[in-house]
Amino acid sequence: MQTKSWSEIKDEVYGKQGSERRDNLERDFEGFKIGLLLRKAREEKKLTQEQLGEIIDKKRTYISRVENDGSNLTLKTLYEIVEKGLGGKVKISIEV
């Protein structure tokens, strides 16, 4: 039995990089990572979702949704959460 890498499995199941299905997977994964990063930062600041929500004037349920799936997050809200709510800075890079 041959062991396959994660990259090989993604190629087989979702198609090669550049295909629509693979690009959608990668985009969704990036949103998921943003949510995890926000949760980690909030926990390091020892804030509850409720407390963070109060700081940025959002409901706890919204904070929960963002942490579980950051893909529907606007840049404006990302900046509010990170800068106003967590006292951090947002860095964004674009690859062309």
How would you write the chain as a 3-class SS string?
A: CCCCCHHHHHHHHHCCCCCHHHHHHHHHHHHHHHHHHHHHHHHHCCCCHHHHHHHHCCCHHHHHHHHHCHHHCCHHHHHHHHHHHCCCCCCCCCCC
The average pLDDT across 63-92 equals 93
Domains in the chain: boundaries: 16-85
What mean pLDDT value characterizes the chain?
91
Query: Is residue 72 very low, low, confident or very high in pLDDT (cuts 50, 70, 90)?
Result: confident
Query: Is residue 8 very low, low, confident or very high in pLDDT (cuts 50, 70, 90)?
Result: confident
64 or 14: which carries more pLDDT confidence? Answer: 64
CATH architecture of 16-85: Orthogonal Bundle (1.10)
